[in-house]
Structure 1
Amino acid sequence: EVDITGATEPFVKHSYLVKEASDLPRIFKEAFYIAASGRPGPVLIDIPLDVQEEKVFFSYPETVSIRGYCPTFHGHPGQLKRAIRRLQMAERPLVCVGGGVLAAGAEKELRQFIEKARIPLVHTFMGIGAFPTESPYSLGMIGSHGHYAANRAVSKADVVLFIGARIADRATGGNPHFAKNADIIHVDIDPAEIGKNIGALIPVVGDAKEVLRIFAEKTNPLQIEEWQVKCKEWKEKTPYPEPTESKINPKYAIRRLSKILDSDAVVVADVGQNQMWAARHFEIKGERKFFSSGGLGTMGYSLPAAIGTKIGAPEKNVVAVVGDGGFQMSLPELGTLQQTKVKLIILLFNNQRLGMVREIQDRRYQAPFGVYLDKNPDFIKLAEAYGLAGRQVSTYEELEETFIEALDSKTTFLIECIVDEKESTL
């Protein structure tokens, strides 16, 4: 027998090995509570075959009480006062938000705080969607694949307020001098994350929604006009992607898609260059959402995740952004699309490469590559074989027309964009 609970220990928040069927009602109640409270995470319930075959009187508990598990939702009043006081004294303050803001459903409170305090904001990769990109306070994403203005602001800030962010190496870009000039205020519901990757002058353990509500209530507008002007100058240095003469510029394609999609659309990004093209150039506004597998590197994620998203929100337009490598790792999901009659838009960037790996190999080794995909199938014919619609585009006139056609389609529509094999991530 495989030790399932042991094998999954690094990936789950908690696990149960059920020994008595009579414990199942309590375990179900506790599992859902643990999964959804504090820092959300998966809970494994391993039910052996002999327990599965037992009969049990099922009565679902109304309350839950777990000894030793008591997440902190409200930040310590003293620490909150210290954090607000340090922010008010700052000359070059910056807010950095991560996925914890989204997990807490704190987007509204974040926007109220930022617009009242008038502090520039950056986000980690997992923080995409927490704040509208069109806001004058938004500087973009930090990290090795981040925006120039965002990384520049972190390097020059004298106070950085991190909210719901782990500040892992993808966010720091591996820079040993990350935020070296700044006093760090770190807000997170999981105390284990505070100080783990970067030291914090003022740690605040608490729920992002509750803490941001207090920040919005207690913080006064900051007089930091010179800093705001400097951040705006950095932001204006970020070039807008332009059409290329041959083949499709994927960055420009994502920008154009952003202009066409409605304000509650959902983009689900795969892994590789396509993930970063989408992360950097899909505009967050209104009720839009951006989903990804983060740094897990799970190629093939976007198609099944987009199907689940559409089933959960059938009224929204859902777009799966994927490369030719990742798409071929989840081809059987085309059958799921036909079976469920779910309608998606699949934006496939075909550069006949595992582009990000090719880019890294080219930069570090200048040697023959093992990531060429020169023998790709005809993706449009594959889609049609499953009864789906599709079109290959290689010009910008075709791109615009096909976006509209895909939105009007009654079935899933595959848009295959032919991309230069040497197209860069940034």
Structure 2
Amino acid sequence: MIENYFKLKQFGTTMKTEVLAGFTTFLTMVYIIIVNPAILSAAGIPFNQVFMATIIAAVIGTLTMGLFAKYPIAVAPGMGLNAYFTTVVASQGLTYQAVLGTVFLAGLVIIVLSLTNLRKVLIEAIPAPLKFGITAGIGLFIAFLGLKMAGIVQPNDETMITLGNLTEPVTALAIGGLLLTLILMAKRVTGALFLGMIATAIAGFFLGLLQFDGFISMPPAPTLINITEAVSGVFSNGLYTVVFAFILVTIFDSTGTLVGVSEQGGFMKEGKLERTKPATLSDAFATTAGAAFGTSPSCAYIESSAGVAAGGRTGLTSVVVAALFLVSMFLSPAIAAIALLPAITAPILIIVGCFMMEGLAKIQWRNFDDAFPAFAIILTMPLTSSIATGIAVGFITYPIMKVVTGKWKEVHPLIYVFAVIFLIQMIYFPMH
């Protein structure tokens, strides 16, 4: 029954592969249930409330993606959006309830946009060079993230970034885990990414780097905010630009990830993606429900590319991820220990970054009006640590290049509209 529902044979996959892919994706993104509460608690939201809200949003979004869109893409509260949330609360002296109201309204607007054809048209309107650039840009972004997490590179005042201390225990463990996983990949061992993480975790435990203060604990009770009060706070404080910023960044973060991972997994057919509505509704439902329980907007997760690289091809991968998030409610001490040792997941992000470079071969590099916008995306995403900013730069430069070369008719009208919107947003409402 499960095999027929997800059409495993049609996609050349098995239940074992999908389950392994689900575990791989989950382990690369589970840090969010610890990191998100840590960030949002600085805005005044109780840690336990955000912990439960994060899991609820992830389960709702990822199950919607898995059961209805049937893609191996996970959804959870987004990094960057949570930091922006905290900044808004701190800089404008607002209550966190009012800012949760902006997230709730943004979620409702995104639901409406997803029910129309706008997001579907947007995905299909993105020209091929930008799609390939987005995929590669995300690849470099997550590889760079992996390098930073592992301590292989570190900040430097003079050169911005430099080589880290490779003799640091966590860094050395990450390098060892990376080499082992590379060997497993080269030998084409089934479940190489997952096995690499397990082996690194075991090594970390015996080296004293992975310490458990327990494994099981009862989850705190979820807490619903007062929606009416939160939404009225949006209007009384005139927080319309914050709502707009959340809508724009959530949509384009998710769209970028959806396009990038779909290109990687071969789900895009002639630039089109099937079952677009349920796929785009996933982050909308997660954002709205997440806000009601106490967390910032949700989006499709770039770490899903790790599950795709591990062989995940259907929604069964996402269902496994959602189930693991549910179980994580009861395993918070063990999850926290694993999430606090970046050496376990950093090697996977670095390797997956390599997989996502494949689309670069399809860019017509001799056509400068195609090449430069793609290059701009690839350059900007890792340097700004923002998928949305990379997409914005691509959307702005692509139509400019086409207009000045007399090829303006090749550009979909929607691209011109969003180029103007992104230009205004980057000048007047930048998200740092």
TM-score tier after normalising by the smaller chain length: under 0.3
Greater RCO, CA 8 A, separation 6+: 2
Largest Rg, 1 or 2: 1
Task: Identify the structure with the greater strand proportion.
Answer: 1
Task: Identify the structure with the greater helix proportion.
Answer: 2
TM-score, length of structure 2 as denominator length: 0.24
TM-score, length of structure 1 as denominator length: 0.25
